Amino acid sequence: IRTKCEKDETKMCVEMLASNNLVTFDGLANSSAYHTFLLDEEKGRLVVGAKDHIFSFNLLNISKDYAQISWPASPTRRDECKWAGKDLSRECSNFIKVLQPFNQTHLYVCGTGAFHPVCSYLEVGKKPEDSVFRLEPHVENGRGKSPYDPKLLTASMLIDGELYAGTSADFMGRDFAIFRTLGKHHPIRTEQHDSRWLNDPRFVGVHLIPESDNPEDDKIYLFFRENAMDGEHVGKATHARIGQLCKNDLGGHRSLVNKWTTFLKARLICSVPGSNGIDTHFDELQDVFLMSTKDPKSPVIYAVFTTSSNIFKGSAVCMYSMTDIRRVFLGPYAHRDGPNYQWVPFQGRVPYPRPGTCPSKTFGGFDTTKDLPDEVVTFARSHPAMFNPVYPINNRPIIVKTDVDYQFTQIVVDKVEAEDGQYDVMFIGTDIGTILKVVSIPRGSWHDLEEVLLEEMTVFREPTAIKAMELSTKQQQLYLGSDIGVSQMPLHRCEVYGKACAECCLARDPYCAWDGTECSRYFPMAKRRTRRQDIRNGDPLTQCSDLQHHDELNGQMTLLDKTVYGVENSSTFLECNPKSQRALTYWQYQRSFDDHKQEIRSDERFIRTEQGLLIRTLHKKDSGIYLCQAVEHGFMQTLLKVTLEVIDTNRLEELLHHDEEAAASAPAQDLPSTPSHKLWYRDFLSLVNHPTLNSVDEFCEQVWKRERKHRKQKAHLVQQVQIHQQQQQQQQQKGVVNPHTHMHAQGLAAKWKHLQERQKGRNRRTHELERAPRSV
């Protein structure tokens, strides 16, 4: 493992796999496709379905005492499969696709059975001590439960003895449907051979979400992607969908017999506006995760998408609210008068009860779907789709990732209690076997979230797509499945965030806090005043300054929200010097607080150096916020946030001719009313009053010392305001300020070139998350 990883350092492979936090099950030689997971926290087991096998792992340590059952297809089935033209080794096996809790002692399990789906019951016992793991010999037909083809997916859920499954139900993989089987009712499914209902779908998830406090209104929601309906899109396109059904739907009486009468679907949009006015759509829905809230009727839906384009590779995460989803299902139905017509919102009279409403006392006043008036069933049959799509919360993705050689595949989200509130931490799986751990932090308001990448980890010994993911809050572990095996990793590794309060704080990992001696797991229940954490701002000044560790701070760290003034056509240097050699720094610029951040690239005027950012020939438009970010061992920290104000020369002139004494006694009056301005003005005067003071460093050192004294224990970064005199400007070209800076700049240019080369390699590792453009 080590050697393989060392060849490929960009993936942080060595670091991760070498750390003993990751536990892996490397798979059996005669198995693969560890894709079907069932987490049982009560029994402390993770049941995994794979090729020809079912495993039961100990949640504490998956490699410790696992049990396995082999359930291959019979030799006869394998032969039949081969004769039907399928690949014996890759397709003619029993790939486990369904694993659902059935009753207190048994699970329901289905597999492809070498293109002949089969199901059975798996005994797991009632209590953990029972340690039973046994497959019942009795086998049932698995049609409408598991697909025939192992490449196809099934989204399934077993509730009240009934199995809901979105799958394909034939050998050819053409008859896709949403089925309900098992239980006391006749099996029921979606209308067959009607592409308006389903058009070559791929199901990714199914969930029950209550609609009211009355269980009669319970709805089943399915998440899938499919081909756009005929006439819905020019050319071939994939659309992401959410479909709904009533749990108590029994089908129609005369029409839609044993078919759903309450099925409706709507498109899920996840897109970003393009510079050319054309939106970039992420349509290939890959996975969904429902984050519960206080109200069981309104979970937040997290969905992972990729693009359909072969040229443009990208992934995105969008969030949806149930309010928006219900509004769309209560909105206009998509309607068209014939095959050559456009889809339009249905304007006519909608029959009563409104199709899609569950039979219940709450809304309908009818007892079963068999009692629905014929016109309702007829309308439902021809109007399965809603006209309006569902837009994500805030109309944009919360994460967009493009220009990388991987795509997102899976997501799970954990709600974490931190000192300053609750945070959703996302674990995103990729198709190269890595996990991104990302936290959304509100900036000011809930509608403005900032995503911070906390860690990126390689969890498999070779690049392989993560196909299954479960999170155990009880164990504080994440479990991952791929073609090659199963891995287990802790949700937090607070110890990687260093040995200082500031680093722990800057990591902004809501799982971790400084406990006085080390960075460790934060427990909101333990009300210990010594715990230090600040997720929202990651500000160690407020959190750590009274601790013994200010040495750490003084040497290195932040002075957030500092204002610096520069003079038009002169230069300025924003120092940002991370303590660690391994940290990669980069700069972001924001015109104003709520504006979109952009990375500053080096050019003629902006020179990134190891010590900071040199801005030559300041322009008025350079005013704004500069953020210096450092990325190291998987976490990102904002080292510095400077507001730069560029003052034009005329204004400077005014200031210079102002009576000095008056200015000294009432310095703030003529100046912009920023609190820190007083300080600057005084510093500025001391600079112009000492023309002999050539070295800006010298000058800054003085200012720095004074401030340090003034602020006592508060730490900060050196801010160098470089202001030149007009005579100097005439002698110098390109606006480089004084001899000191000029020399500095030349040396730096060479250094910078070198740095660029080094950073190219490093950037791959850091995987900065792009922030999606605001609004559509």
Ligand X SMILES: *[C@@H]1O[C@H](CO)[C@@H](O)[C@H](O)[C@H]1NC(C)=O
**Should residue 106 be labelled a site residue for ligand X when binding is judged by CB under 6 A?**
yes
Instruction: Give the nearer residue to ligand X in terms of CB position, either 136 or 230.
Output: 136
Among 8, 10, 42, 64, binds ligand X (CB under 6 A): 64
Least distance in Å: CB of 745 to ligand X? 17
Among 61, 212, 476, 669, binds ligand X (CB under 6 A): 61
**DSSP three-state, residue 481:** strand
Among 3, 7, 89, 104, binds ligand X (CB under 6 A): 104
Least distance in Å: CB of 500 to ligand X? 26
d(CA 607, CA 618): 12
d(CA 769, CA 451): 7
Structure-token match 């700069």, residue found: 587
Q: Is 11 in contact with 766 (CB distance < 8 Å)?
A: no
Closest CA to 651 of 693, 684, 605, 616: 684
**Should residue 199 be labelled a site residue for ligand X when binding is judged by CB under 6 A?**
no
Instruction: Give the nearer residue to ligand X in terms of CB position, either 24 or 609.
Output: 24
- DSSP count for the chain of H helices, then E strands: 14, 44
Least distance in Å: CB of 19 to ligand X? 10
| Binding span for ligand X by CB under 6 A among 99-107, 181-189, 395-403, 587-595 | 99-107
Query: What is the C-alpha radius of gyration for the chain, rounded to an integer number of angstroms?
Result: 31
Furthest CA-CA distance within the chain: 102
* The dihedral sign for the CA sequence 316, 319, 324, 326: positive
Among 17, 23, 153, 246, binds ligand X (CB under 6 A): 23
Least distance in Å: CB of 190 to ligand X? 27
d(CA 374, CA 382): 13
d(CA 285, CA 271): 12
| Binding span for ligand X by CB under 6 A among 37-45, 57-65, 209-217, 438-446 | 57-65
| Binding span for ligand X by CB under 6 A among 23-31, 289-297, 573-581, 597-605 | 23-31
d(CA 764, CA 739): 37
Instruction: Give the nearer residue to ligand X in terms of CB position, either 741 or 766.
Output: 741
**Which residues fall within 8 angstroms of residue 214, CB to CB, at 6 or more apart?**
360, 361, 362
Instruction: Give the nearer residue to ligand X in terms of CB position, either 162 or 249.
Output: 162
Least distance in Å: CB of 132 to ligand X? 12
End-to-end CA distance of the chain: 46
Alpha carbon separation from 736 to 567, 614, 683, 689, 695 (Å, rounded): 12, 10, 20, 21, 14
**Should residue 52 be labelled a site residue for ligand X when binding is judged by CB under 6 A?**
yes
**Should residue 568 be labelled a site residue for ligand X when binding is judged by CB under 6 A?**
yes
Q: Which residues pair with 120 in a beta bridge?
A: 109
Instruction: Give the nearer residue to ligand X in terms of CB position, either 256 or 435.
Output: 435
| Binding span for ligand X by CB under 6 A among 60-68, 410-418, 530-538, 709-717 | 60-68
Least distance in Å: CB of 172 to ligand X? 27
**Should residue 510 be labelled a site residue for ligand X when binding is judged by CB under 6 A?**
no
**Should residue 105 be labelled a site residue for ligand X when binding is judged by CB under 6 A?**
yes
d(CA 410, CA 430): 7
Among 15, 28, 67, 191, binds ligand X (CB under 6 A): 28
Among 66, 102, 343, 387, binds ligand X (CB under 6 A): 102
How many amino acids of this chain bind ligand X (CB under 6 A)?
A: 19
Least distance in Å: CB of 53 to ligand X? 6
Q: Is 428 in contact with 286 (CB distance < 8 Å)?
A: no
Question: What tokens appear for 724 in the block?
Answer: 């030149």
Q: Scan residues 630-659 and list those touching ligand X (CB under 6 A).
A: 648-649
> 396: number of CA atoms within 13 Å, CB side?
18
- Residue ranges binding ligand X (CB under 6 A): 23, 28, 30, 52, 61, 63-64, 70, 72, 102-106, 121, 568-569, 648-649
